[in-house]
Amino acid sequence: MNKPDKTSRRRFLQAGGALLAGNAIGSAAASDDSPRSLTEAAPALHKLLRKASIPAARGARVVIVGGGWSGLTMAKYLKRFNPAFDVLLIDKQSAFVSFPISNSWLADQVSLDFLSHSFFDAANNNGYHFMQATVLGFERDSRQVYTDQGYVDYDYLVLAPGIEYDYARIGVEDPEAQSLLFHRYPGGFVTGSELLTIKRKIHQFAGGNFLLNVPDGDYRCTAAPYERACMVAAVFKRRRIRAKILLLDMNSEIKIKKAGFARAFEALYGDYIEYLPSSLISGVDIEGRSVETEFDEYAFDDAIIYPPIRASSLIEEAGISDQYSPQKAARTDPFRYHLVGDERVYVTGDSRSQPFSKGGHTAHSEAQYVAEVIAAHALEREVDWRSPQTMCFSAVDIEPLRAMSIITYYRFNQQSGQFAFDRTHLIEKWDSQGGQASLAWAEGMYRDMFYS
Ligand SMILES: Cc1cc2nc3c(=O)[nH]c(=O)nc-3n(C[C@H](O)[C@H](O)[C@H](O)COP(=O)(O)OP(=O)(O)OC[C@H]3O[C@@H](n4cnc5c(N)ncnc54)[C@H](O)[C@@H]3O)c2cc1C
């Protein structure tokens, strides 16, 4: 294996050193936003520049950024396909909280324990290391990942950091306004805290207009915003409050399981859900509590605002995003997932560049394949491409929990040069069997990711 070139780390260390040296001659150049004196920041900077305190690698080290559905599966299956790999999973969160089934949790159909799992259990049960840290960037020349706990060397790097919100695409450009909007009306598609806030909101809502939206573009979990509208309506119905759910869809029609959701909106929640297709959000008045679309303005008493999304900014900041990608996804080989020209760096899960459905099941089946690709690369072998599988349950009613589902695969169309849906099995009739199947599916997935 080639010895990594140390130039980049030197550059990174020199930059830090220069900053500290600059401090020795005073902080005249510091702006009003800088620490009062850079000396005060020195211990923090040293922390960033040192080597992270983790066990020394006992084999080729694979560093995985992001312990979501993709990263957790990747870590487990890398060890399975090549036990000689030293696998390190890094996540900024202290615990895993599942988004799949979280809509059922909002309506009290499962407990928080059902959704929450320990990264330590996953690592201990499957023979890899876990480090709680925020990844700040990486250098491909030196093969190093920089975190708020110090840097880590890698032989292979897997980027599975999920998605970020792109508020500019609903007309909210100012970073302070974006932050305020995120905290006040979280979309509930990126962090566990958002889910806790949303649950409190819907259980305390006193009545009036409650606004939800469906983003446009290739957003995370196509069915989830429609499912969420049903679960919020189910809670309002159970609480017998006078509330109207304004479901602003930025698309021209329901994007998936259309007949099933349309029937649920009408038959179960006719008094609650007002479905508004082609509602392209162009601005949000956070203080005034209203949303602007091309032709209308909608006042709300409370809201869940889910903006369009993009790939993790780690990708753009590293200068590896594809200039033609609307979501700033990386330029990767569509079959092998590595960066074009660099078989040491892979991008998987919802940050991937391929147009596969952004789902946990998709990420899980894909990660098993990519783990095999990386293991094969280390042995100078190849594996045949195989499609990820997407499986998605959508709850529409509670007591009993009733759900519908879809399973699909993908194939590459040589003529168009695009991926398209392949075999698909769609069940749009929602029933309690579907509800039970959704919970059994999730339990099986957690068992696979967290146990051996
Ligand atoms: C309400 C809802 C319902 C859903 N329902 C379903 C469903 O029924 N079926 C289904 O298949 N999918 C469903 N999904 C989609 C599913 O949750 C995602 O597709 C899946 O989580 C994607 O996995 P991922 O690993 O790519 O990203 P994530 O699971 O988001 O994991 C990314 C991880 O990276 C970490 N991270 C990010 N940046 C950094 C950094 N700089 N440093 C360190 N760590 C970092 C994050 O903390 C996070 O843990 C649903 C999603 C939502 C929100």
Pocket test for ligand 1, best of 147, 149, 221 (most atoms within 8 A of CB): 221
Judgement on whether residues 173 and 197 belong to the same structural domain of the protein? yes
Q: Residue 146's domain is classified under what CATH number?
A: 3.50.50.60
22 CA distance to ligand 1 middle (Å): 41
Ligand 1 atom at minimum distance from 361 CA: 11
Task: Please count the other Cβ atoms lying within 10 Å of the Cβ belonging to residue 188.
Answer: 26
Pocket test for ligand 1, best of 88, 91, 449 (most atoms within 8 A of CB): 91
Task: Say which residues have a Cβ less than 8 Å from residue 429's Cβ, sequence separation at least 6.
Answer: 260, 404
Query: How confident is residue 1, by pLDDT bands cut at 50, 70 and 90?
Result: very low
Judgement on whether residues 155 and 173 belong to the same structural domain of the protein? no
Is the confidence at residue 23, as pLDDT, over 50?
Answer: no
Judgement on whether residues 284 and 196 belong to the same structural domain of the protein? yes
Is residue 371 in a domain? yes
360 CA distance to ligand 1 middle (Å): 7
Judgement on whether residues 156 and 104 belong to the same structural domain of the protein? yes
Task: Say which residues have a Cβ less than 8 Å from residue 142's Cβ, sequence separation at least 6.
Answer: 4, 5, 6, 7, 8, 9
Mean pLDDT of the chain: 93
Single out the residue in 291, 308, 325 at which a domain terminates. 308
Judgement on whether residues 175 and 303 belong to the same structural domain of the protein? yes
Report the domain count for the chain. Answer: 3
User: Which amino acid residue places its CA nearest to atom 30 of ligand 1?
Assistant: 162
240 CA distance to ligand 1 middle (Å): 33
Q: Kindly state the average pLDDT of the residues 328-337.
A: 97
Q: Report the pLDDT value the prediction gives residue 32, as an integer from 0 to 100.
A: 55
Judgement on whether residues 211 and 338 belong to the same structural domain of the protein? no
Is residue 117 in a domain? yes
Q: How much of the chain exceeds pLDDT 90, in percent? A: 89
Cβ contact 351:61 at 8 Å: no
Ligand 1 atom at minimum distance from 147 CA: 42
Judgement on whether residues 38 and 86 belong to the same structural domain of the protein? no
Encoding tokens for residue 166? 């792109």
Q: For residues 95 and 103, what is the distance between their CA atoms, to the nearest angstrom?
A: 19
Query: How confident is residue 41, by pLDDT bands cut at 50, 70 and 90?
Result: confident
Q: Kindly state the average pLDDT of the residues 104-132.
A: 98
- Summarize pLDDT for 424-441 with one digit per residue, the tens: 999 999 999 999 999 999
Residue 261's φ and ψ, nearest 5 degrees, are -70, -40
Ligand 1 atom at minimum distance from 103 CA: 1
Single out the residue in 254, 273, 308 at which a domain terminates. 308
Is residue 378 in a domain? yes
Is residue 407 in a domain? no
Q: Kindly state the average pLDDT of the residues 292-316.
A: 97
Is residue 391 in a domain? no
Q: For residues 139 and 145, what is the distance between their CA atoms, to the nearest angstrom?
A: 7
| Sign of the torsion angle spanned by Cα atoms 78, 54, 312, 333 | negative
Cβ contact 364:397 at 8 Å: no
- Summarize pLDDT for 379-388 with one digit per residue, the tens: 999 999 999 9
Q: Report the pLDDT value the prediction gives residue 5, as an integer from 0 to 100.
A: 45
Is residue 174 in a domain? yes
Q: For residues 367 and 448, what is the distance between their CA atoms, to the nearest angstrom?
A: 12
Is residue 188 in a domain? yes
Question: What residues are in contact with ligand 1 under a 6 Å CB criterion?
Answer: 65-71, 90-93, 99-100, 102-103, 134-135, 160-162, 189, 220-221, 224, 312, 314, 349-350, 358-361, 363, 392-393
The side-by-side arrangement of strands in the sheet containing 135-139 is 135-139, 144-147, 150-153
190 CA distance to ligand 1 middle (Å): 7
User: Which amino acid residue places its CA nearest to atom 6 of ligand 1?
Assistant: 100
Q: Report the pLDDT value the prediction gives residue 34, as an integer from 0 to 100.
A: 57
Instruction: Report the candidate in 426, 429, 373, 372 with the shortest Cα–Cα distance to residue 396.
Output: 429
Ligand 1 atom at minimum distance from 312 CA: 38
206 CA distance to ligand 1 middle (Å): 31
Q: Report the pLDDT value the prediction gives residue 272, as an integer from 0 to 100.
A: 98
Is the confidence at residue 24, as pLDDT, over 50?
Answer: no
Distances (CA, A) of 5 to 9, 10, 82: 9, 10, 25
Single out the residue in 308, 334, 355 at which a domain terminates. 308
Is residue 236 in a domain? yes
Say what the pTM is: 0.93
Which residue segment(s) compose the domain that 361 sits in? Answer: 61-162+312-382
Higher model confidence: residue 401 or residue 2?
A: 401
DSSP class per residue in 252-294: SS--SSHHHHHHHHHHTTTTTEEEE-S--EEEEETTTTEEEES
Is the confidence at residue 15, as pLDDT, over 80?
Answer: no
162 CA distance to ligand 1 middle (Å): 5
User: Which amino acid residue places its CA nearest to atom 35 of ligand 1?
Assistant: 66
